[in-house]
Structure 1
Amino acid sequence: MRVDLLSREYPPQVYGGAGVHVDHLSRQLRRLVDLRVHCFGGPRQETNVTGHRTPGELADANAALQAMGIAPAMAAATAGADVVHSHTWYANIAGHLAKLCHGTPHVVTAHSLEPLRPWKAEQLGGGYALSSWAERTATEAADVVIAVSRAMAQDLLRCLPGLDPDRVVVIHNGIDTDEFTPVGDTSRLARLGVRTDRPVVACVARLTRQKGLLHLLRAAPHLTPGTQLVMCVSAPDTPDLAEEFAVLAREVTGKGADVVLVEEPLSRDALRQLLSHADVFACPSVYEPMGIVNLEAMACGTPVVATAVGGIPEVVADEETGLLVPLVTDEEAFAKDLAARVDELLADPERARRMGREGRRRAEVRFSWAAAAARVHAVYQSLI
């Protein structure tokens, strides 16, 4: 069986959870099918991986138009595939074109939904209407839609009334617990400015409103004095958001909060070290269909304090592997709630360690990429 996987992100150009998903899922799928990968960007050295470039005449166009410009070439390259499988709206439209042109069954994995991310209009401008149209059109017409959580499945059916519920299946993201495992080394932390002689609260995320990073910054002054908040942020959606974040960071630091900002993507070694040696991992997302980074923290034995939104409660077991915080509209109240839940664990190290151990066990037992790939493979088989 030949399967063509379509994605904007693919190594080495991975910046978000969807890219991590595609990277790890593709490794497992290669053991099960004849896999071809089509992604955005320049040529790749890896066998059966094709990087598709933006057409020259669209070099200065809106980002959504650029994605639409790549779609025809990507769809054309799938000729001969038994199944096409697309990830995120950037590639969904290419999968839809392949279905129309070649009659190939199209599988969509829904990592998020544009209607639930209105802040994307800041990044895409008028392209947000185009991205929403592309996502809706391709998803409603897909043969199977894979939701990465039960909450994501509910969102799909609520936001896309044209989608047949019988074509939606839930397959959770996975985690490589050999790659993400507790490590003793701290050599890279000092280079990042992280001190391990005081409590460390870590957060790793893209700088987008979805991730709630401004909320966590507002929580910093309410943390127990002496707590170091390490925020690893990269890939800001817009220059305006980057400036807003920087201004708030200076403001809370001026109030005495100990905030360490890391504004470039972490190497895998540095990420493992940070997750292993943080006392608490914080995830303040306002929208999160699943949240792979929480699994990464759990696999490294770190308890998680996260908002109770989307698929997060399906990953972080409240009072077992971490603590969940209800999302409220009052920004100051939410900031205080976040800080209070983090402080609960900092004040009780044994409880935190127990949650960390249980998080590692939960990651090993319930979330493996091999199991996820086997379920995806079964979806493919049902279509041919």
Structure 2
Amino acid sequence: MRVALLTREYPPEVYGGAGVHVEYLARELSAHVDLTVHCQGADRPTAIAHRPWDHLSSSNQALQTISTGLSMAAALSSVDLVHSHTWYANMAGHLASLLYRVPHVVTMHSLEPLRPWKAEQLGGGYALSSWCERDAVESAAAVVAVSKGMRADLLEAYPAVDPDRVRVIHNGIDATQYAPDPATDVLARYGIDPDRPAIVFVGRVTRQKGVPVLLRAAAHLDPDTQLVLCAGRPDTPELAAEVSLLVHDLRAGRHGVVWLDGMLDRREVIQLLSHATAFVCPSLYEPLGIVNLEAMACGTAVVASDVGGIPEVVADQRTGLLVKPDDPAALAEALNMLGRDPGLATVMGRAGRERAIADFDWTAIAAQTAELYAEITD
């Protein structure tokens, strides 16, 4: 079976969980199908890259993305099935399905109706991104939800979708690659004291990820606790200004606030996670949260919001602690609990790694995906 995976992100241009998902899924799916990856951005040897039309360079970002999707759709005439990831590629999959009469599978990593703050970033483009997602999802031969929570949200947001077409296939983790790293050179490089408690955040600076919530909570962390933020570029200038002010105020009142701007390489992230007292995921909305799996595989306890698919990954009181979202006081209390009891944090971290290995293996996830392909093409 000739399958095309359609995605915005693909190595080396990966900045979010959807890109990580496609990277590892593609690696394992290649054992089951004849696979080609179509992505967006610069040319690379591992995928066919597509870019927006030049004459749209000054237009809304969403309109540029749609032009990229047209380029993708034009290149898919020789495949038996298309599988798109995120709204950035959904329209390409939908158009290819109509044009070439092949099944279209959509994997839902998030839902535009549940991310209204995207209008702050995209302006009127948010209406376009919502349209791309809705048409693709409602027309797809099958829809993959990355968690049970995502499946429930999807069926509520899009009641026209037949529940029988929605399959839950979780995100996964490579627990061989993401494993505890005893080295400390990365900590030394960034001025992190391995003998003091450290709370680590890794993620994009978006409304969804709850960074302002974490920064407000951090004002109530125990004085000896370090806060390490591995943060990508903020979505908007307004959010950048808000976060910068919070960081400035936080540093004025405490030591040990480390802000690592931009993308770190994988080895750096693994070492930071390995030495953290806890990884923190303060998201306001999170269909699954693959970064929680990365932390667990590194043997680190997780403190996360009790939203979306996170409770399907983080076992409360066993591999970490779940807290009410958008509640800085509750978040600070949970983080302080683990900071004051490193033995408990260690036990939770070990349990988290065991859970990641047992329940979230990419090999099994790719096999489930290939089985779905076979079902809808029979």
Q: Deviations over 1:58-101 (max 9, x none)?
A: 11111100011111110111112111000000100000000110
Q: Which residue of 2 aligns with 1:45?
A: 45
Aligned ranges 1:76-87 → 2 under 5 Å: 76-87=74-85
Residues of 1 paired with 2:321 and 2:29: CA distance? 34
Moved more, 85-94 or 157-166: 157-166
Q: Deviations over 1:180-234 (max 9, x none)?
A: 0001111112222322121101000101010001000001111111100001100
Q: Which residue of 2 aligns with 1:339?
A: 332
Q: Which residue of 2 aligns with 1:374?
A: 367
SS at match of 2:5: strand
Q: Which residue of 1 aligns with 2:33?
A: 33
Alignment-mate amino acid for residue 30 of structure 2: R
Aligned ranges 1:223-242 → 2 under 5 Å: 223-242=221-240
Residues of 1 paired with 2:119 and 2:34: CA distance? 38
SS at match of 2:367: helix
- Displacement of 1:248 in angstroms is 0.8
- Displacement of 1:34 in angstroms is 0.4
SS at match of 1:38: strand
SS at match of 1:84: strand
Given that residues 220 and 257 in structure 1 are in contact (C-alpha distance below 8 angstroms), is that contact kept between their aligned partners in structure 2? no
- Displacement of 1:139 in angstroms is 0.5
Q: Deviations over 1:259-311 (max 9, x none)?
A: 11011111111001000000111110000000000000000000000010000
1:129 partnered with 2:145: no
Q: Which residue of 2 aligns with 1:139?
A: 137
Aligned ranges 1:301-312 → 2 under 5 Å: 301-312=299-310
Residues of 1 paired with 2:71 and 2:209: CA distance? 33
Q: Deviations over 1:5-62 (max 9, x none)?
A: 000001111000000000000000111110011110122122xx20001111111111
Aligned ranges 1:1-384 → 2 under 5 Å: 1-46=1-46, 49-256=47-254, 258-328=256-326, 334-384=327-377
- Displacement of 1:257 in angstroms is 5.3
Moved more, 270-279 or 186-195: 186-195
- For structure 1, the 5+ residue unaligned runs are 329-333
Q: Which residue of 2 aligns with 1:331?
A: none
Residues of 1 paired with 2:169 and 2:109: CA distance? 11
Alignment-mate amino acid for residue 9 of structure 2: E
Alignment-mate amino acid for residue 5 of structure 1: L
Alignment-mate amino acid for residue 357 of structure 2: E
SS at match of 1:57: helix
Residues of 2 paired with 1:268 and 1:193: CA distance? 18
Given that residues 183 and 273 in structure 1 are in contact (C-alpha distance below 8 angstroms), is that contact kept between their aligned partners in structure 2? yes
SS at match of 1:211: coil
Given that residues 198 and 228 in structure 1 are in contact (C-alpha distance below 8 angstroms), is that contact kept between their aligned partners in structure 2? yes
Alignment-mate amino acid for residue 347 of structure 2: R
Residues of 2 paired with 1:221 and 1:42: CA distance? 41
Residues of 1 paired with 2:215 and 2:94: CA distance? 41
User: How well do the aligned residues superpose, as a CA RMSD in angstroms?
Assistant: 0.9
- Displacement of 1:253 in angstroms is 1.5
Given that residues 15 and 235 in structure 1 are in contact (C-alpha distance below 8 angstroms), is that contact kept between their aligned partners in structure 2? no
Alignment-mate amino acid for residue 291 of structure 1: G
Residues of 2 paired with 1:193 and 1:8: CA distance? 34
Alignment-mate amino acid for residue 334 of structure 2: R
SS at match of 1:177: coil
Residues matched between the structures, number? 377
